[in-house]
Amino acid sequence: MKRRTFLPTLFAFFCSLLITVSCAQNAPQADAPADAPATATAGEPIKLGYSSWAGWWPWAIAEEEGLFEKNGANVELIWFDGYLESIQSLAAGQLDANSQTLNDTISFAGDAVNGMVAVLVNDNSAGNDKVIGAEGIDTVADLAGKTVALEEGVVGDFLLSLALEDAGLTRDAVEIKNLETGAAATAFAAEQVDGFAGWVPFWETALSREGSKELASSADFPGAIPDLLVVTQKLIDSRPDQVQALVNTWFDILAFIEENPERANEIMAKRASVSDTEFEKYTEGTKIFTLDENLEAFSAGGDDMKYMPYASQKMAEFMVELKFIPEAPDLEAILDDQFIKAYTAKK
pLDDT tens digits, one per residue of 85-106: 899 999 999 999 999 999 989 9
Q: How many CA atoms lie within 13 A of 190 on its CB side?
A: 8
pLDDT tens digits, one per residue of 222-238: 888 999 999 999 999 99
CA distance 96 to 243: 10
> Do 94 and 47 meet the contact criterion of CB atoms below 8 Å apart?
yes
Q: Any residues with CB less than 8 A from the CB of 101 and at least 6 apart, and which?
A: 3, 4, 155, 225, 226, 227, 228
CA distance 48 to 59: 9
CA distance 309 to 301: 9
Q: What is the pLDDT of residue 152?
A: 85
Q: What is the pLDDT of residue 276?
A: 86
Q: What is the pLDDT of residue 153?
A: 77
Q: pTM of the entire structure? A: 0.81
Query: Is residue 93 classed as helix, strand or coil in its secondary structure?
Result: coil
pLDDT tens digits, one per residue of 128-140: 999 999 999 999 9
In Å, the largest CA–CA distance within the chain is: 63
pLDDT tens digits, one per residue of 179-203: 988 899 999 999 999 999 998 888 9
Q: What is the pLDDT of residue 116?
A: 98
Residue 42 banded pLDDT, cuts 50, 70, 90 = low
Which H or E run includes 338? Answer: helix 338-346
Residue 54 Cα distances to 65, 86, 183, 249, 254, angstroms: 18, 16, 23, 17, 13
pLDDT tens digits, one per residue of 232-283: 999 999 999 999 999 999 999 999 999 999 999 999 999 999 888 889 888 9
> Do 18 and 85 meet the contact criterion of CB atoms below 8 Å apart?
yes
Q: What is the pLDDT of residue 270?
A: 95
HEC string for 198-221: EECCHHHHHCCCCCCEEEEEHHHC
> Do 114 and 95 meet the contact criterion of CB atoms below 8 Å apart?
no
pLDDT tens digits, one per residue of 299-345: 998 899 999 999 999 999 988 988 889 999 999 999 999 999 999 99
> Do 298 and 229 meet the contact criterion of CB atoms below 8 Å apart?
no
Instruction: Give every strand in the sheet of 75-80, ordered side by side.
Output: 75-80, 46-51, 97-101, 226-231, 117-125, 286-288
- The beta-strand segments (E) located in the chain are 46-51, 75-80, 97-101, 117-125, 129-133, 147-150, 175-178, 195-199, 213-217, 226-231, 286-288
Where b means 16+ CB within 10 Å and e means fewer, 187-225 reads: bbbeeebbbbbbbbebbebbbebeebeebbbbbbbebbb
> Do 63 and 90 meet the contact criterion of CB atoms below 8 Å apart?
no
Mean pLDDT of 53-80: 97
